[in-house]
Amino acid sequence: RGEVLQLIKLRGEMDGRFANSARRAALWEELADMLGRQGVKRDGKQCREKWDKLMAAYKDVIDGKREEGDLSYFVELRAIVGGRPDEGKVQIESMP
């Protein structure tokens, strides 16, 4: 659970850069490097795939296809994503 929470936190912190960059693969590698410094050994592709799965599950909850309780990280994702994810792009409402 801790690894995923770190991924969510770091991805949220980098959201503006992801939204304004055509070089997202490099950003995922940078995020993976940051996780590595925290003891989480994943590559950029693994981070992106996990994020994509989390966002798909989040969208299912928002769309009423799944219950909020079915997604362990719903509260954390909602804090970053807010309303509806727009084609996987995240809009930050507020960061703690």
pLDDT, tens digit (0-9, with 9 covering 90-100), for 28-54:
999 999 999 999 999 999 999 999 999
Q: Is the pTM of this model over 0.75?
A: yes
Non-local (6+) Cβ contacts of 5 within 8 A are: 73, 76
Question: Domain limits of the chain?
Answer: 2-81
Tell me, which fold does domain 2-81 have in CATH?
Arc Repressor Mutant, subunit A (1.10.10)
Specify the pLDDT at position 83: 54
In this prediction, the residues of the chain whose per-residue pLDDT falls under 70 are 83-96
User: Phi and psi for 86 in degrees, rounded to 5?
Assistant: -100, 95
